[in-house]
């Protein structure tokens, strides 16, 4: 008996050690940029890891320096991310529910098609989308970005979501059908509640997308007032040849924090597979 206990202790000690090392690796860059944003001066490099003096001037500059427009960019990005998330998740759910639960003629073709299209290098179609939006007079609008992001969502998400929906037992649907539920009723009352972890996952990735993306954003948004944070930040580093690194760091911290809060707020949903319980009960 004590041999087993000893083994377990060794295993746990080793695991904790690994976890500590991994945690340091995960946190180090984040802390470094946080300290950089609080360090006086503009330079990238520092002698010490923890700054000798702390300053908030870079954060102040973000909000009061009229050449930066940081608050505007932030709101723009939030708006775009929110709407493209709602629309994108909705579209992805439609496709994944259709291919997971129904057997129709073009089903396998649809799935292979989604897979194939999803693999096309996204911005290879950049010029085409640019010209298309120009044709519909949508250049330099947030609407265009929302449409592009949301329309692309099913390509990336459908097969993952389908894999998840497949694990929701079919017996639940059938029981509901016997009770007289319609297709739409089943989708709304059974599939959606059980897919919460999946939906959360999709919503997060969809929401994060616009914050990260600057390729399309830079292409479509022409005026500085309409930029997203990504374009603005990119410009900040690029136009100044890195001389304003600390302000960039402050901006980076401000962008990362809301996304991180969202993550930690919702992460429980991500891992708690509700389906396991449902199939047992």
User: Which of 162, 206, 221, 246: binder of another protein (CB under 8 A)?
Assistant: 162
Question: Could you give the 3-state DSSP secondary structure of residue 78?
Answer: helix
Q: Of 226 and 245, which CB lies nearer to another protein in the complex structure?
A: 245
C-alpha neighbours within 13 Å on the C-beta side of residue 98: 17
Q: Of 66 and 103, which CB lies nearer to another protein in the complex structure?
A: 103
Q: Does 193 bind another protein (CB under 8 A)?
A: no
User: Which of 3, 53, 67, 135: binder of another protein (CB under 8 A)?
Assistant: 135
User: Which of 38, 68, 148, 220: binder of another protein (CB under 8 A)?
Assistant: 148
Q: Where are the alpha helices (DSSP H) in 40-167?
A: 57-64, 70-101, 107-119, 126-135, 142-166
Rounded to the nearest 5 degrees, what angle is found at the Cα of 59, between the Cα atoms of 34 and 141? 105
Q: d(Cα 193, Cα 281) in Å, to the nearest integer?
A: 15
Q: Does 232 bind another protein (CB under 8 A)?
A: no
Q: Does 15 bind another protein (CB under 8 A)?
A: yes
* Nearest Cα to Cα of residue 69 among 192, 272, 194, 233: 233
Q: Does 75 bind another protein (CB under 8 A)?
A: no
Alpha-carbon distances, residue 107 vs 20, 92, 111, 118 (angstroms)? 47, 15, 6, 17
Footprint of another protein on residues 24-53 (CB under 8 A)? 25-27, 29-30, 32-33, 44-45, 49
Q: Does 124 bind another protein (CB under 8 A)?
A: yes
Q: Does 59 bind another protein (CB under 8 A)?
A: no
Q: Of 67 and 119, which CB lies nearer to another protein in the complex structure?
A: 119
């Amino acid at each position: 008996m004590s041999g087993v206990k000893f083994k377990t202790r060794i295993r746990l000690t080793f695991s904790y050690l690994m976890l500590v090392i991994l945690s340091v690796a995960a946190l180090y860059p984040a802390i470094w940029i946080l300290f950089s944003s609080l360090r006086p001066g503009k330079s990238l490099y520092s002698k010490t890891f923890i700054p000798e003096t702390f300053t908030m001037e870079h954060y102040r500059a973000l909000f009061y320096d009229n050449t930066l427009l940081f608050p505007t960019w932030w709101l723009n990005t939030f708006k775009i991310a929110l709407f493209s998330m709602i629309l994108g998740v909705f579209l992805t759910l439609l496709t994944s529910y259709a291919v997971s639960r129904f057997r129709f003629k073009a089903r396998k073709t649809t799935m292979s098609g989604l897979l194939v299209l999803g693999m096309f290098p996204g911005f290879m179609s950049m010029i085409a989308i640019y010209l298309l939006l120009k044709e519909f007079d949508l250049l330099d609008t947030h609407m265009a970005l929302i449409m592009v992001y949301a329309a692309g969502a099913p390509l990336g998400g459908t097969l993952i979501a389908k894999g998840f929906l497949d694990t929701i037992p079919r017996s639940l649907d059938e029981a509901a059908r016997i009770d007289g539920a319609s297709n739409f009723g089943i989708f709304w009352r059974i599939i959606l509640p059980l897919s919460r972890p999946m939906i959360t996952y999709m919503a997060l990735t969809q929401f994060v997308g616009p914050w990260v993306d600057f390729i399309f954003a830079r292409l479509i948004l022409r005026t500085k007032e309409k930029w997203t944070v990504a374009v603005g930040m990119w410009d900040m580093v690029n136009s100044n040849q890195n001389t304003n690194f600390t302000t960039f760091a402050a901006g980076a911290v401000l962008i990362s924090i809301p996304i991180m809060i969202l993550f930690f707020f919702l992460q429980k949903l991500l891992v708690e597979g509700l389906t396991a319980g449902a199939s047992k009960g």
